[in-house]
Structure 1
Amino acid sequence: MTSSIQENFGLQYHNSLPQLGHSIAELLQFFGANRVYGVGGDFVANLINSLESTLAVLPSSNEMHAGFSACAQAEVAGLGVCLMTYTVGSLPCISAAALARTEGLPVIFLSGAPGENEIAQHALHHTVHPHSAWHTDLNAALNAFKALGIRAERLQGQRHTGQPNIAAEQCLSLLSHAYINRQPVYIEIPRDLVNLATQALSLPANLDALLAPRLNLTGAEFIAAEIIEKLAHSSAPLLFLGEKLRLNPALLASLVQLCKRHQIPYAVTWFAKGMVDEADALCLGCYNGVFSHTIGKIYIETMADYVLEIGTSIFPSDTNNAFGSQTHAIDNHPNKTMLKGTAMWEQDILAVISILDTITQLTPIPRSQPASDFINNKPALIDENRQRLEPLEPLSYANLAKVINAAQITLPRPYIFIPEVGNAFFASFELETLGNQLGRSFFANPWYAAMGTSLPYARAIADELQWQQCQQPILVITGDGGFNFQSNELINLQKQNANITILYMRNNVFHLGKAGNAPIYHCNHQGFDPKILIQAYGGVGHVCQTITELLDTLKRTATGGLHLIEINTPIALEQQSEISRKLNSYIGFKNGDPTAMRQWQSLCGNSQEK
């Protein structure tokens, strides 16, 4: 005769076992999550009831947007959580899961699932099951997430009446995997397990203990000595910071401090834009070869005689490396040391930098005169770069960033920028990203290039700002195509009383990469009025046609509330941003368009793609 847990281990042990749902809530809080984004459903109802007493379980307009908001949450809070029901809810999250995997974001996708007591020889609703099938497939979502290279598991219940299930421990293992490896995980939770007892957990004292940082590599002292030797013989050094440092703010801060202590100029990759304060005297901005519009481009390309490159991608991406144009001076620099950060949580970089700090505090690196001259001259270069704005000049992508930069310096607090993929995104590289309490001032998905993320991202960032009691203004910059992908998320911006300004750049077409006049490129109708739409969601609509109008409107809207500013955006070549003009040439070149091929080859100074 089988025994129960109480009979097997006693009443005291039996009474110490928590319900699985409560353990999951405790685990999410342990990893720093104070809110969850999702869409309800039958299979996830029990889990929602277990979480809502300790976490904010927030609605999204659809599951994909919930996933995108969780991605933004991971960027600003260290961990994101998305909640959905079985298959009809989890499968729409695949795009967000791909984004999280690509950007290296620890996002937890929690899905309700059929109870273990429901599995039988019949098809359950929500299963992917054609009428002609001879078997039911309960693992469609699990297999879909696994196909992306994501760890995906279904929690397991009790397998013997005398033994408690270890579903909570299984969940801890999955959350730890996401946090330590900065990767998403997918967890299915059978609904009949949520209210059942699970084995109690003994959690570490804190997340640092969970990481248990231990570097099983040697040789950091040799690398540090080589770097010091090269810095000592350099007259114009450069520290080039990569996107891997976005999720390691402590290491990033130590690197910036190293630069300040020794007066070493630094720049960041395109994918790292917004993670440092570009107003800092030593910051040379965001660099990407021929596509760069940074004040430090002259120093990077003509003066730097030694580059210390830290935290850049292991495998170079075309977007981040000047689209294969061979114009990226740092890629081709003859005197360079690269610390990619191949150990977990960049512990190998940290080991080298710690030794550098120890040695150079005792024996400072000689100050480099050319670097100092450039730094001292930087304010004059900035003033020269900020050309005088013509008040009545019509607005376009060509002057958009210049106007926003002019408006930003008049505000009490600088913007957090969230550009949508498309022309708006590439025009945004000319924006000046400044320091703030959040630690980031530019959020986009340049690697995965997921259109339709800016409003879900804005929503999550607004939540985090509210959590931190920070009044930073948010500026979303979107084309009409990208906006129409996601306008249903406005309902949640209304519910949270968000303070967000949306720049709605209108040309009624998907223009970036447009190669013809097929209807697929036409994303809008001339009769659509976004000002009326934003009013329906409790916001205020504006139209700006000139530089003066936009400057005045940005100053007014930054004080709070939900605003949409419509700007009619011509698509003539001279009215596009310079980066977009170059990128359209690149896209046409890759697609074999003869005119674009000539433009691209002329741009890069090459007779053929290298």
Structure 2
Amino acid sequence: MTVADNVVLALENTHLDAPAGRPGSMTKRPPVRSLEIDVKTSPVGKSNLDTGYTVGSYLGSRLAQIGLKHHFAVAGDYTLILLDQLLKNKDMKQVYCSNELNCGFSAEGYARAHGAAAAIVTFSVGALSAFDALGGAYAENLPVILVSGAPNTNDRAADHLLHHTLGTHDFTYQIEMARKITCAAVSITLAAEAPEKIDYAIRTALRERKPAYIEVACNLAAAPCAAPGPISAILDEEPSDPASLQAAVVAAAEFLRGKEKPVLLIGSKLRAAGAEKEAIELADALGCSVAVMAAAKSFFPEDHPQFIGIYWGEISSPGTQAIVDWSDGVVCLGALFNDYSTVGWTAMPSGPSVLTADPNRVHMDGREFGRVRLRDFLATLAGKVERRDATMIQYARLRTEPLPEDAAHPDAKLTRSEMMRQVRPLVTAETTVIAETGDSWFNGMKLKLPHGARFEIEMQWGHIGWSVPAAFGYAVGAPDRRIIVMVGDGSFQLTAQEVAQMIRLKLPIIIFLINNHGYTIEVEIHDGPYNNIKNWDYAGLIGVFNAEDGHGRGLRANNGGELAEAIKVALANHDGPTLIECVIDRDDCTADLISWGRLVAKANGRPPSPQ
């Protein structure tokens, strides 16, 4: 087997494509790009001084070799030479963002579409802002590589006080912070050490599916260093321990043989483990019902005959909670249970009837198996189980088809339900829906996704405003997909500037902005005057962003007829984004948000435990 073959195998399932089709159906992956590894190596036999490589060009080569076609950046004086060096790499494009928070979230969105991402920011005033988004990448299991410029090495030695710092002689505070929110954090203060440190950071990020941090002193970006070795050195994915894998499969098969009505529960870490295809294989072998947690919507095909909907406690899809509660064995695959996903700790499978398979471990009542990769475990287990379809028989009894929704009168005041009725036909196999924290989560859960469609939310980090820059980065990473953003007015105000970058790159993103005059999700958790916001002319804002050369469209819909016309304009606009401001009543939200908010508020309001 060639080096190229080994590299392809090593990352075969680390990308973020939708799962392959189930046996007996057409296998089709949506055109979300995966990491394409460049296995070209540099010439050997040259000294460090005559390779032509610098610290900056080495970093650029490695980022391109792991498949990145773009990197995101905000300029700052500590990074300018580094940005020049990265521009020399013609295999990557430099994409500019409005601020560092948006830069980080743009990279996070790109990683969802493309498999990994990189962002370049300046020291302290830039990086500390980007750390917010980097924390999100950590929480959401996305390998974002944040590169920060840093002070000149001579200033460190001379104990100089510098701008963009805390005004102390200690410049290590930034990397110390980074170590808390990354799987690897390195500081390059010697050019000779750059290759080893860069490789370590990138290798760890890809292996752990977590962000990494690289700090480059500003006077070293153009300093000469060694040429890159084979890219395969970065791809050291740890294999499953054979004995532990075999023991885990035997124990899991025994667990399932003792169950008459098991159910599979898909969680958000399934994608990070690269195990979507293998989850389908296990589902096909078992024949049981498959429920998906809210943060994992689209990680299991919704047109699969065993898919029974979203499991989210009392706001689950019709019949889904009943099946999970009725089951005598819940197999959790990459599940992540927090207060949001369990609706205030009211829906959390536990006890001896639960088997949990995480990306690198399997555990069940009284038994633990480490160093077991999830996709290896699922693929092997699929060949060892017997069919258990009792939950599908029961679900067929409970299942009810949703009633068709009639269109509202075109002149009637726009409602949330009418808005979603018109959004549904836009979601095709080539669509990615990016739903902002808030009622957009619950609206999005009602969408029936065709095979190949993707759905993205940020439920663990839950940063309002995430969706706009994330959609920008996602669209850069997956230019062939239709990107639909659903965002509330309050969230939009945090990161609105990145719409200007969509206009700059002529990205035909469709933004449905729900203007209900406030933070509706917070209102349903705990209301107060702090949930009110200053209204904007959101549709009119696009004209500001367009300036003299942009082609974005800003439209306002007060009724169903205006929304229908706005959607037609959006579908015809291929030269930039279209923002459709949907004006609805403040209290027009899903019943699910109300129920969820009540239970989360109850969990938040628990009194202190007795000491």
- Which bracket does the TM-score occupy, shorter chain normalised? 0.7 to 0.9
The secondary structure found in structure 1 opposite 2:344 is: helix
Q: Hey, what's the Cα distance between the residues in 2 that align with 1:126 and 1:449?
A: 29
Q: Which deviates more from structure 2 when the two are superposed, residues 560-569 or residues 170-179? A: 560-569
Note the aligned Cα RMSD (angstroms). Answer: 3.1
In the alignment, residue 534 of structure 1 is paired with which amino acid? I
Q: Which residue of 2 aligns with 1:128?
A: 166
Q: What does 1:42-441 align with in structure 2 at a 5 Å threshold?
A: 42-54=77-89, 55-119=92-156, 120-129=158-167, 135-148=168-181, 151-157=184-190, 165-205=192-232, 210-216=235-241, 218-229=243-254, 231=256, 234-249=259-274, 251-293=275-317, 296-302=320-326, 304-313=327-336, 316-325=337-346, 328=347, 331-332=349-350, 335-343=353-361, 347-359=372-384, 365-366=386-387, 368=389, 371=392, 374=395, 381-382=400-401, 384-391=402-409, 394-397=413-416, 400-405=419-424, 407-408=425-426, 413=429, 415-436=431-452, 441=454
Q: Hey, what's the Cα distance between the residues in 2 that align with 1:400 and 1:458?
A: 20
Q: CA deviation at 1:368?
A: 2.8
Does the 8 A contact of 1:513 with 1:588 survive in 2? no
Matched, 1:32 2:61: no
Q: Hey, what's the Cα distance between the residues in 1 that align with 2:389 and 2:518?
A: 50
Q: Deviations over 1:423-449 (max 9, x none)?
A: 22333222223332xxx6112211111
Q: Which deviates more from structure 2 when the two are superposed, residues 583-592 or residues 538-547? A: 583-592
Larger radius of gyration: 1
Q: Which residue of 2 aligns with 1:513?
A: 522
Q: 1:14 to 1:322 in 2, by over 3 A?
A: same
TM-score (norm 2): 0.81
Q: 1:394 to 1:22 in 2, by over 3 A?
A: same
Does the 8 A contact of 1:413 with 1:473 survive in 2? no
Number of aligned positions between the proteins: 544
Q: Hey, what's the Cα distance between the residues in 2 that align with 1:323 and 1:591?
A: 8
Q: Hey, what's the Cα distance between the residues in 1 that align with 2:578 and 2:53?
A: 46
Which of the two has greater helix per residue?
1
Does the 8 A contact of 1:276 with 1:435 survive in 2? no
Does the 8 A contact of 1:415 with 1:475 survive in 2? yes
Q: Which residue of 2 aligns with 1:535?
A: 543
Does the 8 A contact of 1:500 with 1:560 survive in 2? no
Seq. identity, %: 21
Q: Hey, what's the Cα distance between the residues in 2 that align with 1:343 and 1:235?
A: 25
Does the 8 A contact of 1:501 with 1:563 survive in 2? yes
In the alignment, residue 415 of structure 2 is paired with which amino acid? S
Gaps of 5+ in 2: 1-44, 363-369
Q: Deviations over 1:403-435 (max 9, x none)?
A: 433x23xx6655311122222233322222333
The secondary structure found in structure 1 opposite 2:442 is: helix
In the alignment, residue 602 of structure 2 is paired with which amino acid? F
Does the 8 A contact of 1:61 with 1:492 survive in 2? yes
Q: CA deviation at 1:144?
A: 2.8
Q: 1:332 to 1:183 in 2, by over 3 A?
A: closer
Q: Deviations over 1:521-571 (max 9, x none)?
A: 32223xx32222123433223333344553554355234442121222212
Q: Which residue of 1 aligns with 2:20?
A: none
Q: What does 1:432-511 align with in structure 2 at a 5 Å threshold?
A: 432-436=448-452, 441-466=454-479, 470=480, 472-511=481-520
The secondary structure found in structure 1 opposite 2:190 is: coil
Q: Which residue of 2 aligns with 1:567?
A: 582
Gaps of 5+ in 1: 1-9, 130-134, 159-164, 598-607
In the alignment, residue 463 of structure 1 is paired with which amino acid? V
Q: CA deviation at 1:463?
A: 0.8
Q: 1:166 to 1:243 in 2, by over 3 A?
A: same
> In structure 1, which of residues 541, 545, 563 is the aligned counterpart of residue 558 of structure 2?
545
Q: 1:309 to 1:404 in 2, by over 3 A?
A: same
Q: Hey, what's the Cα distance between the residues in 2 that align with 1:389 and 1:257?
A: 40
Q: Which residue of 2 aligns with 1:161?
A: none
